[in-house]
Amino acid sequence: MKNEERNMVLVIKVGDTEHKVDFQQEVRISEETINEDLKDQPGKYVYFAILQEMAEAEHQEAKLYLELKEAELDSSIREEAQRVGEKITEKRVMTKITLDDSYIEARTDVNLTRTKVGKLKAVKEGLNHRKDMLITLASNMRTQWDHKLWIKESEQK
């Protein structure tokens, strides 16, 4: 496991830009910074939502490239078999395709982009929980403050 992952830093490259995110820090809440946390929440959510959309676009492109690579390899394998007069089965064609280095690379890219999307979905889900907690915490703090104010008013009367 990479040192960054152990430190809870998520490194996501979207396009040509690398984003390093301490996701535990992103979802952290503090009573001392509740107002800033409330103000920052929408921006954080939008940031990760946009990253997720960009990652999903990359994933779709990777899947398309994989399909194109498979079709290209299928065609060249069949043409080669026909050229040499070899009768080839569907299973043999698929075996040759899946063993091809360029196909393996394309399949790996699909898997990596799918994982990237999943990580961003997890961060967004964490931000949804953060939003709920911010609302609850702010409400509780307001109730406590109102209660303390009520007690002070009662003591003054």
The predicted-structure confidence for 127-154, as pLDDT tens digits, reads as follows: 999 999 999 999 888 887 766 666 666 6
Kindly state the percentage of the chain with pLDDT values over 90.
63
Between 82 and 145, residue with greater pLDDT: 82
Instruction: Identify the DSSP state of 140.
Output: H
User: Distance between CA atoms of 71 and 74, rounded to whole angstroms?
Assistant: 5
Query: Would you state the pLDDT for residue 1?
Result: 41
Q: What is the pLDDT of residues 26-69, one digit of tens each?
A: 888 888 999 999 999 999 999 999 999 999 999 999 999 999 99
Tally of CB atoms within 10 A around 153: 9
> What SS3 state is found at 10?
strand
pTM of the entire predicted model: 0.77
What is the C-alpha separation between 54 and 48, in angstroms, rounded?
10
